[in-house]
């Protein structure tokens, strides 16, 4: 397994369109996280899955955002009716445990530009 | 609630010298973990070092060491013998061992290593 994979790497979309991003975690990792990172800022937590269950959602995750992790494997993050403020890097991370060093492995992100 | 503060937006260091990147934190969790990540221009978050709140000794990983002062709630990263490849964004992050399992990040420090 080569790590966490995110597709696409870059996405340019027109305002009002829907977009979907995919994250393939490390296969044995049961925890999956989505973060959003705007220019010059640190990543901000969006949502978290343990297996297929979505256990927590940030207030940043408006009703235009939805995330799924069917069968506890890959995850998708969909943004409906995109706005210019949605332009950001969307990072996915996975982990096997969340205590101690609890290695979080991050993907390279999907950079979204809304024009 | 958890908060990470990084007060140095940018730092310069000469190649082969040591540099300290500051990080202070705030949390109500009695047990927590502190992380440092490196983010090169390619975008992926690279794990550098971890410190548990009850660890007796400061963490070290190769050229990276963490100066953990629990009473001051600080977790500064020390990079020894800086290399040109160390130029990147550096993020301090924390995770409480109760409640939210995701990382909370600071706003980052951009380190530039000069030849």
Give the model's pLDDT for residue B101: 73
Q: Does A108 touch chain B (CB under 8 A)?
A: yes
Q: How confident is the model at residue B102 (pLDDT cuts 50, 70, 90)?
A: confident
3-state helix, strand, coil in chain B (%, to 5): 5, 50, 45
Give the model's pLDDT for residue B99: 65
Distance between CA atoms of A8 and B43, rounded to whole angstroms? Answer: 13
Residues of A in contact with B109 (CB under 8 A): none
Q: Does A111 touch chain B (CB under 8 A)?
A: yes
Q: How confident is the model at residue A45 (pLDDT cuts 50, 70, 90)?
A: very high
Nearest CA in chain A to B59: A101
How distant, in Å, are the alpha carbons of B18, B83, B86 from that of B15?
8, 5, 9
Give the model's pLDDT for residue B98: 73
CA distance B97 to chain A (A): 7
DSSP strand pairing (A88-95 vs A105-106): antiparallel
CA-based Rg of chain A, rounded to a whole angstrom? Answer: 13
Distance between CA atoms of B35 and B41, rounded to whole angstroms? Answer: 20
Picking from A33, A55, A108, the nearest residue to B44 by CB comes out as A108
CA-based Rg of chain B, rounded to a whole angstrom? Answer: 14
Give the model's pLDDT for residue B17: 97
Give the model confidence (pLDDT) of B1-57 as tens digits.
789 999 999 999 999 999 999 999 999 888 899 999 999 988 889 999 999 999 989
Picking from B42, B46, B102, the nearest residue to A45 by CB comes out as B102
Give the model's pLDDT for residue A1: 52
Nearest CA in chain B to A48: B102
Spell out a b/e string for B3-35, using b for 16 or more CB atoms within 10 Å of the CB, else e.
Answer: ebebebeebebeeeeebebbbbbebebeebbbb
* Cross-chain residue pair A44–B105, CB shorter than 8 Å: yes
Give the model confidence (pLDDT) of B65-94 as tens digits.
999 999 999 999 999 999 999 999 999 999
Nearest CA in chain B to A5: B44
How distant, in Å, are the alpha carbons of B11, B21, B22, B85, B115 from that of B14?
10, 14, 18, 12, 6
Whether A98 shows a pLDDT value over 90: the answer reads: no
Q: Suggest the residue from B103, B105, B107, B110 to mutate for an interface test with chain A (most A CBs closer than 10 A).
A: B103
How distant, in Å, are the alpha carbons of A51, A111, B103 from that of B94?
23, 24, 5
Give the model confidence (pLDDT) of A55-77 as tens digits.
989 888 889 999 999 988 999 99
Burial of A104 (0-12, 13-18, 19+ CB in 10 A): buried
Residues of B in contact with A36 (CB under 8 A): none
Whether A2 shows a pLDDT value over 80: the answer reads: no
Distance between CA atoms of B95 and A62, rounded to whole angstroms? Answer: 23
Give the model's pLDDT for residue B15: 97
Whether A78 shows a pLDDT value over 70: the answer reads: yes
Give the model's pLDDT for residue B43: 87
- The 10 Å Cβ neighbour count of residue A18 is 11
Give the model's pLDDT for residue A96: 82
């Amino acid at each position: 397994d080569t790590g966490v994979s995110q597709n696409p790497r870059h996405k340019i979309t027109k305002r009002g369109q829907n977009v979907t991003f995919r994250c393939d975690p490390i296969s044995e990792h049961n925890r999956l996280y989505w973060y959003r990172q705007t220019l010059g800022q640190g990543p901000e937590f969006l949502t978290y899955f343990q297996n297929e269950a979505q256990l927590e959602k940030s207030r940043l995750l408006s009703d235009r955002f939805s995330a799924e992790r069917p069968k506890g494997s890959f995850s998708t993050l969909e943004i409906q009716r995109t706005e210019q403020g949605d332009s950001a890097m969307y990072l996915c991370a996975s982990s096997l445990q969340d205590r101690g060093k609890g290695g979080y492995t991050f993907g390279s992100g999907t950079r979204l530009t809304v024009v | 609630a958890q908060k990470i503060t990084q007060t140095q937006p940018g730092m310069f260091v000469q190649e082969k010298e040591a540099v300290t990147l500051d990080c202070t934190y705030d949390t109500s969790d009695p047990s927590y973990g502190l992380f440092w990540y490196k983010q090169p221009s390619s975008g992926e978050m690279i794990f550098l070092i971890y410190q548990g709140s009850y660890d007796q000794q400061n963490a070290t990983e190769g050229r990276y060491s963490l100066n953990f002062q629990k009473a001051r709630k600080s977790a500064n990263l020390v990079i020894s013998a800086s290399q040109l490849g160390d130029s990147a964004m550096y993020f301090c992050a924390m995770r409480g061992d109760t409640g939210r399992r995701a990382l909370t990040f600071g706003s980052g420090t951009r380190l530039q290593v000069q030849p």
